[in-house]
Structure 1
Amino acid sequence: MLRAWMADSNSTHWSFGCYFVQWQKNASLHHIIGRTPYRAVFGSDPRVGLKSTNLPESVIKQLRTEEDLENIYNKDTLDEIKNNLLLNNCVLKRI
């Protein structure tokens, strides 16, 4: 599998390809145990895409385009910066 990944990716960095091959093997159905190795160990299917983030399910359902995601990220980032500035100002005033 690693050789195939290296050929497909036109890469000679086999150590980097190990991550992708490991993921593929752990997320593929194993015919003897009847489930993926990931599910056998953790009891659930692996989360991929936006489900692997900390975004609430209600927010993920509203996303339709990459721009929607960027807007949420930018809004959250701006809110976080504002909150940090307010917090820092409060701390500075107390000193």
Structure 2
Amino acid sequence: MAMPPDPYATLGLSRDATAEQIRAAYRKLAKQHHPDLNPGNKGAEDRFKAISAAHDLLSDPETRGRSRPRRDRRRRRPGGTRAAALPALRRCRRRRPLPPWPGG
């Protein structure tokens, strides 16, 4: 199954939601869309799978940090755009040659 496009939107939460809010939203939506409560409803089953995948992603703090869009994690200069920060990033990534090994 594919990862949900935005797990926060799937659960109806904002990005600054706490672990308790994530759990409460998951339990409410899971109960509402559970396949046992909606027999024969393919849409409810698909929605339940998406809700479960979003909860799995957001319930673990390590994977929750990775679920943020990449553009939010890029370094930016104050008051500038991402394009303004690119030359600084390129400078940081340059590798310096290693110094000669002592005695050899």
Give the TM-score normalised by the residue count of structure 2.
0.38
Which has the bigger relative contact order, CA under 8 A and spacing at least 6? Answer: 2
Give the TM-score normalised by the residue count of structure 1.
0.41
- Which protein has the bigger helix share? 1
